[in-house]
Amino acid sequence: MTSLRFEPTMVRDTRPAREIFEEVRANPARARFGMGRRLAIVNVDVQQAYTRPDLFPKSAYVTDPDQIAHINRLSAAARAQGMPVVWTRVCYKPDGGDAGIWGTRTDTPDSLQNIKHGSDRHAFDPRADVDCAVDLVFDKRMPSAFHETPLQSYLVWHRVDTVVVTGGSTSGCVRATAVDSLSRGYRTIVPEQCVADKHESYHFANLTDLLLKYADVVDVAEVEAHLATLA
């Protein structure tokens, strides 16, 4: 039997993650999934635990100061055309038991499993324009907005072919939702200005990976322009 052994081939690149992302994004030969005719805007965890560093500095993050304004414009444009807008939040029961293994690594006031229903951490950021009479709003327990939630059946009912993922964090719940979206056969779009993370390296490294494998990472203006063509 021939014994094969190879040296590591993993590329080592000491450039900042942002620089690598910008190089990948600028590649004119990069193919796209493109946008379809029925978009859903899925706004992931636009809640105070993650958007209000003035209240929760240990868990919140800001990448683009206008992130929520961008999200609101996309949501309003989709809503005006009768396309679905979805908002998710993370929260857990009083003992945090429904966080499962995910909730076992730490147990501090800032820990994930200690986001309780109805708490200030659970509350949507007051800047977010959530229309509870029209939009689908639900709580989730795990990173992906698809995991054990009504999202998939809702998108099927509304004949959606494209999922636009916004919110946070880029390296966590946004990424998980985008991967699940592609896995379910949806064209998946991540508007760069609409997602955020705690650390620049995590943010841009995951945008690069999403761009290379799972989604089109585009300027928010491109999504707005596409929605305008569907009106």
CATH number of the domain within which 121 lies: 3.40.50.850
Single out the catalytic residue among 91, 132, 173, 194: 173
Is 226 a domain residue? yes
pLDDT given at position 87 = 98
pLDDT given at position 107 = 92
pLDDT given at position 158 = 98
Average pLDDT over residues 216-222: 98
- Check: CB of residue 73 under 8 Å from CB of residue 227: no
Average pLDDT over residues 103-114: 92
- The residue whose two tokens read 């857990």 is 92
pLDDT band at 1; cut points 50, 70, 90:
confident
Query: Three-state SS for 134?
Result: coil
**For the chain, first and last CA: distance in Å?**
64
Other beta carbons within 10 angstroms of residue 63's beta carbon come to 19
Is 25 a domain residue? no
Q: What is the mean pLDDT of the chain?
A: 96
pLDDT given at position 231 = 82
Is 93 a domain residue? yes
pLDDT at 3 over 90: no
Q: CA 154, CA 159: separation in Å to the nearest integer?
A: 9
Is 30 a domain residue? no
Number of domains in the chain: 1
Is 16 a domain residue? no
Query: Three-state SS for 70?
Result: helix
Tokens representing residue 158 in the block: 């509304």
- The residue whose two tokens read 């709580």 is 139
Domain hosting 76: range is 35-230
Q: What does DSSP assign to residue 214?
A: I
Average pLDDT over residues 143-159: 98
Q: Is 173 a catalytic residue?
A: yes
User: Which pTM does this prediction carry?
Assistant: 0.96
Is 3 a domain residue? no
Beta bridge partners of 178: none
- Check: CB of residue 90 under 8 Å from CB of residue 177: no
Percent of all residues in the chain with a pLDDT value above 90, rounded to a whole number:
95
pLDDT band at 116; cut points 50, 70, 90:
very high
pLDDT in tens, 155-206: 999 999 999 999 999 999 999 999 999 999 999 999 999 999 999 999 999 9
Is 18 a domain residue? no
Considering only CA atoms, which of 1, 78, 91 is closest in space to residue 42?
78
pLDDT given at position 161 = 98
Is 59 a domain residue? yes
